[in-house]
Each structure stands twice: as C-alpha cells, then as structure tokens.
C-alpha cells in the first residue's frame, strides 16, 4: 500500500485547472446548436425529432424560415442535427453556456432578408399606326 501512495504523490494530476487554463475540447463534442437559415427548407423534421421540444421553426416568407432554440430545454443529444436532410443544423464545440437569466438561453436565428424583386419592365408604347385612305 505504501508503494501505491508514493506513486500517486509523484504522479502528474489527471485534472486541469479549468477556469484558469483553457479546456481541451474533444472532437465530436455536442455543444451549442447552430442554425443556417439559408439551408432550411421548412420540413420541421428537427422539431418532430427533438425529444426536449427545444426547437421551433417559423415560416417568415417564401422559402424563408426562422428558428427559435431554447437551450434551457435542450439535452444536447444532437438528434435534430442528425435528422435534418439539408444540414441546416450543426453542433458547435461551444459548451460554456451557463446563465443566471433564463431569457439569455433562448436563441433566435433570424431568416435572411428576402432578395429584392426586380422591377417589372416598363410597358413599351405602341408605335403609331399609319392611316390608310
């Protein structure tokens, strides 16, 4: 037993000084969800598959959708990311999300502005018709 104690006294600690040293984020970490409105087709499969009911997709205009994401409900399972057919949702490695105010945990991803519609071409005046007698 004395050998085990001495080995642990001389060994490097397995923990890091987290707030003072940056945390090492492993590949595949399921952190905060990111939404790309340009890719969304409004199928709402992500809303149906979310076990925590943390996602709301709203149609804003023609082929324009807005996503409201409630991180206080999210369980970070990334089921929404896996089920999105157009890959409009993705996970980030952002994990430091603690807040005292619940309203700061609600993220609204706004749809981009609609491209301006080109003006209709001006009507061309008809050429005068020559009178025949």
- Please tell me the pTM assigned to this model: 0.66
User: From its phi and psi, is residue 56 left (phi > 0), alpha (psi between -120 and 50) or beta?
Assistant: beta
What letter does residue 68 receive in the DSSP assignment?
Answer: E
Record: fold of 27-109? Alpha-Beta Plaits (3.30.70)
The predicted structure's pLDDT at residue 70: 92
pLDDT at 120: 59
pLDDT score, position 116: 53
Query: What residues of the chain score a pLDDT lower than 70?
Result: 114-133
Q: Assess contact for 89 and 32: CB atoms under 8 A.
A: no
Query: Dihedral, CA atoms, 49, 25, 15, 22, nearest 10 degrees?
Result: -130
Which residue is associated with the tokens 């301006």?
Answer: 116
């Amino acid at each position: 037993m004395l050998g085990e104690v001495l080995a642990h006294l001389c060994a490097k600690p397995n923990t890091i000084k987290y707030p003072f040293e940056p945390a090492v984020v492993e590949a595949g970490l399921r952190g905060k969800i990111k939404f790309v409105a340009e890719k969304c087709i409004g199928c709402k499969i992500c809303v149906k598959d979310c076990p925590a009911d943390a996602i709301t997709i709203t149609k804003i205009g023609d082929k324009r959708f807005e996503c409201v994401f409630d991180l206080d409900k999210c369980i970070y399972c990334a089921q929404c990311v896996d089920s999105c057919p157009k890959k409009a949702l993705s996970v980030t490695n952002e994990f430091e999300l603690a807040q005292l105010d619940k309203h700061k945990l609600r993220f609204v991803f706004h749809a981009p502005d609609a491209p301006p519609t080109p003006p209709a071409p001006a009507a061309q005046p008809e050429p005068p018709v020559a009178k025949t007698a």
